[in-house]
Amino acid sequence: MHLTPSQLDKAVIAIRTLLPLEYPADAILRRFFQENPKLGAYDRTFIAETAFGILRHRLFLEHIVDSVTPRSLLLAYLVRFQGVNLRELKAWARESEIKWLPSIKAVKIVSQPLSIQAELPDWLVEKLQHFMPDAEILNLGLSLQKTAPLDLRVNTLLAKREQVLEALLQDDIRAELMPFSPCGIRLLDKPAINRHPLFLSGKIEVQDEGSQLLGYLLAPKRGEMVADFCAGAGGKTLLLGTLMHSKGRLYAFDVSEKRLNNLKPRLKRSGLSNIHIQRIVNENDLKIKRLSGKFDRVLVDAPCSGLGTLRRNPDLKWRQSAQSIVELKAKQASILSAAAGLLKPGGRLVYATCSFLPEENQEIIADFRTKNPEFDLLNCSELLAEQRITVNTGEFLQLSPLTHQTDGFFAATLARKKP
């Protein structure tokens, strides 16, 4: 790694801008790069990867440096986690810094408290200890410190998965078939895939394998009425439309006009014609009430803590709290209740989050079923097995980066009883 004083200076400024974490880290960095247009591609990559690396290891770094500043965090991260030699830093680092940096390399991580080893804040470790032994918490934390792979979903309306894989390999992009998703390809590096002809022509989309499996769990059929209740930018909506072979009616509901606007160019590329984008004010919008009892399938990818995505979004460890989980639980229960009202008898609903906390997952489902005995709980492993997908996590789908190399998705499948 060849580092210049200019790169290091810019990295310090970026980290200083980032660390209050008033907004999502990726949004802060995007704005930083917009305000510094003269930065080259290599500089931007170095700054982004370093900033996210510091966020992943922030608890350990803050624990071992004497004075926590953007500069000290940068130096400690480079020496400890990037293996940068002190000689490479001599042109930039102060003499006092060169003296204390060797001690950073000598600190034994195994001697640190569990929260620092796992890189999880105390409030989160305390929650996990209610249902996980410390050894499992540590393994989970270590898996969340790794960077996530770049997962692709092949748009099977426009291309076959094997053909896409072959085209990528011919372009010297290292890739392999996913182990679970029938339409998934995993890249082994991080190329600028959004500039590739396969992406621009709508044949591939970026989507985590766990997110793809939610579509197969819902298993919509041609000609059905289907809703993606919290559609966001529409990654799962597009998959559902593809599984329906663009036949039937698929509603993409969301409260955010900005997110739904991001779906529009993706929809145009996809070749789908059965998707109807609908902005709603909230889960109790009149548009929802008017459609009560009309849907065959409903996907609820509920707003959640996002803790299952810490590989991609390490800033969430500090942007969430025990109190924010309490507030999310109330919202999740309300959304699930409203979405369930859309189902006709015999209809199927998938409730999903990218969290591993039972209070956002199993407890929400248990409370819902107590209040709504007309809903049965289906076995997720059996439903996926019907489609020749072997992910045996039992009644619920519970994915983890440690076991499945996906984000930490949870899903439960409910069916409305026929009279």
For the chain, 419 residues long, give each residue's pLDDT as a single digit of tens.
678 889 999 999 999 999 999 999 999 999 999 999 999 999 999 999 999 999 999 999 999 998 899 999 999 999 999 999 888 888 898 988 888 888 888 899 999 999 999 999 999 999 999 999 999 999 999 999 999 999 999 999 999 999 999 999 999 999 999 999 999 999 999 999 999 999 999 999 999 999 999 999 999 999 999 999 999 999 999 999 999 999 999 999 999 999 999 999 999 999 999 999 999 999 999 999 999 999 999 999 999 999 999 999 999 999 999 999 999 999 999 999 999 999 999 999 999 999 999 999 999 999 999 999 999 999 999 999 999 999 989 999 999 999 999 999 999 999 999 88
Separation of first and last alpha carbons in the chain: 67
Of the candidates 13, 97, 105, which has an alpha carbon nearest to the alpha carbon of residue 50? 13
Helix (H, G, I), strand (E, B) or coil at 279: strand
CA atoms within 13 A on the CB side of 412: 22
Q: What predicted TM-score, i.e. pTM, was given to this entire model?
A: 0.94
pLDDT at res. 90: 85
Considering the candidates 183, 230, 304, 354, report the single residue annotated as catalytic: 354
∠ CA 154-156-162, rounded to 5°? 65
Q: Which two tokens stand for residue 393?
A: 């996590």
Q: Which two tokens stand for residue 400?
A: 């983890």
Of the candidates 275, 186, 288, which has an alpha carbon nearest to the alpha carbon of residue 233? 275
Rounding to the nearest 10 degrees, give the CA dihedral for residues 308, 362, 335, 126.
Answer: -50
Report pLDDT digits (tens) over 110-126.
999 999 999 999 999 99
Report pLDDT digits (tens) over 50-60.
999 999 999 99
Q: Which two tokens stand for residue 263?
A: 């779906």
State yes or no: is 354 an active-site residue: yes
Rounded CA-CA distance 56/170 in Å is 34
Of the candidates 74, 65, 73, which has an alpha carbon nearest to the alpha carbon of residue 100? 65
pLDDT at res. 1: 63
> What residues contact residue 391 under an 8 Å CB cut-off, 6+ apart?
180, 213, 380, 381, 384, 397, 399, 404
Q: Which residue shows structure tokens 């409370």?
A: 367
Report pLDDT digits (tens) over 330-365.
999 999 999 999 999 999 999 999 999 999 999 999
Of the candidates 273, 268, 206, which has an alpha carbon nearest to the alpha carbon of residue 235? 206
Rounded CA-CA distance 156/204 in Å is 9
